[in-house]
A = this chain, B = another copy of it.
Amino acid sequence: MAASLGELAGQLGLELKGDPDARVHGVASLQDAGPGELSFLANPRYKRFLSSTAATAVVLTAQDAEACAAHVLISSNPYASYARIVALLYPQAQRPTGVHPSAVVAEGAQLGSGVFVGAQAYVGPQVHLESDVYVGPGCVLDGDLRIGTGSSLVARVTVVGRVRIGKRALIHPGAVIGADGFGLAPDRDGWVKVPQVGGVSIGNDVEIGANTTIDRGAIGDTVLHDAVKLDNQIQIGHNVSIGAGTAIAAQVGISGSTVVGQGCLIAGKVGIAGHLQIADRVIILGNTSVTGSLEQAGTYASMLPAEEAGRWRRTVARLHQLDELNKRVRQLERTNTSADNS
């Protein structure tokens, strides 16, 4: 859908520096954009493209506006303004409704108005889909489930056990919600499985990425509060609780019974051990291992950045000699002290 810059400025309450009648029909990055396309600048890394971009318009801060050749929409938060413009320029297709003939909806299932169930999907007898829920092709909903108004399971999502999902959830393919947690008690004869009798409770406006897994609770529920955002291939263990608005990047793993606060940002590949408390507004940088509670808001890390491998091997060797190096320094200190005393 095309729009004029004047319209966009008006709808989003942005200041326009340029021609209100210029029109844009799509978005592209600063370096790839051409006429009719809108771009944005949020990451300073790409500022060098501002002077040469062929975009018709760019969304940026007042401060960056000078450097830009194109028409400018000025925003105090260019990325959020850009997100809203994309939603206007690329309106979502009207969702289909109804049940595809190849889908199986078991007797007993409750489907609200405007529900869609796609090809090859399965909706079990204890499933309650509120109005306007979209169940894409190949989804398997098999358990005591309730999914809130306007939620969307894109395709091949699996939900099992006892699961409550709030309104406007967006769940991507391959996600598995409600599978057993990993509960094993060691005994003389080997492992005894600990039956996982809890469920999963998910608030409103939650997004769950592709192939992410969220285990049911062992006792009580695993909980995702409102507006939790999960990227792909994340593992959420049994009885974890994640606070409202926390966003977690791909391949993070959170072990059982850990409580993560509100408004946290957890970067990719972080691992968090079980039974910990992570405070509100904690930021954890990529690939960090968290083995103790983080009780203060702040930024945490333990990641080692890549080095040329030969240099890295020497660093590792020195690391393993640290204990010895420490002893040598202590020895020198003793010698010096005795020299002073002599």
Q: How far is the CA of A326 from the CA of B327 in the complex (A)?
A: 12
How many residues of A are counted as interface, with CB atoms below 8 angstroms from the partner's CB atoms? 131
Cα separation A273 to B170 with both chains bound (whole Å): 25
Interface-centre pick from A172, A239, A298, A323 (highest chain B CB count, 10 A): A172
Check A158/B182 contact, CB under 8 A, given A308-B300, A329-B329: no
Contact in complex: A233, B232 (CB < 8 Å): no
**Bound complex: CA of A76 vs CA of B164, how far in Å?**
37
Name the B residues within 8 Å of A197 (CB-CB).
26-27, 86, 90
Chain B, residue nearest A136 (CB): B142
Q: A120 to B118: give the CA distance in the assembly, Å.
A: 12
Q: Would you call A303 an interface residue if the criterion is a C-beta within 8 Å of the partner chain's C-beta atoms?
A: yes
Could you say which of A16-24, A66-74, A188-196 contacts chain B? A188-196
Q: Given the complex of chains A and B, what is the CA–CA distance between A190 and B231 in angstroms? A: 17
Q: Which residues of B contact A192 (CB under 8 A)?
A: 80, 83-84
Task: State how many angstroms separate the Cβ of A96 from the closest Cβ of chain B.
Answer: 11
Q: A225 → chain B, closest Cβ, in Å? A: 12
Q: What copy number does this chain have within its complex?
A: 3
Judge if A49 is at the interface, Cβ distance under 8 Å.
Answer: no
- Judge if A261 is at the interface, Cβ distance under 8 Å: no
B residues within 8 A CB of A27? 197, 219
Q: Whole-angstrom distance between the alpha carbons of A255 and B87 in the complex?
A: 23
* Complex CA distance for A18 and B288, rounded to whole angstroms: 47
A301 engages B292 (CB within 8 Å): no
The listed residue (B156, B174, B209, B286) touching A291 by CB distance below 8 A is: B286
A116 in the interface (beta carbon within 8 A): no
Minimal beta-carbon separation of A235 from chain B (angstroms): 4
If A211-B213, A213-B232, A332-B329 touch, does A290 touch B319 (CB 8 Å cutoff)? no
A306 contacts B325, C-beta separation under 8 Å: no
A220-B28 contact given A140-B156, A193-B207, A320-B315, CB 8 Å threshold: yes
The yes or no answer to A14 lying at the interface (CB within 8 A) is no
Q: Is the CB of B322 within 8 A of A318?
A: yes
CB < 8 Å neighbour of A250 from B155, B253, B309: B253
Report the bound CA distance from A339 to B342 in whole Å.
13
A107 to chain B, nearest CB (A): 12
Does A61 lie at the interface of the complex (its beta carbon under 8 Å from any beta carbon of B)?
no
Are A174 and B191 in touch, CB under 8 angstroms? no
Indicate if the CB atoms of B194 and A174 lie closer than 8 Å. Answer: no
Q: List 19 A-B contacts (CB under 8 A).
A: A77-B187, A79-B194, A80-B185, A80-B186, A86-B194, A102-B102, A119-B122, A136-B142, A156-B158, A158-B173, A158-B174, A170-B193, A174-B213, A182-B250, A211-B233, A213-B233, A232-B235, A249-B255, A325-B326
Having A155-B160, A315-B319, one finds 15 other A-B pairs with CB under 8 Å, namely A83-B192, A87-B193, A106-B119, A158-B173, A158-B174, A173-B176, A174-B176, A176-B211, A180-B209, A249-B255, A286-B291, A292-B305, A304-B316, A304-B319, A315-B320
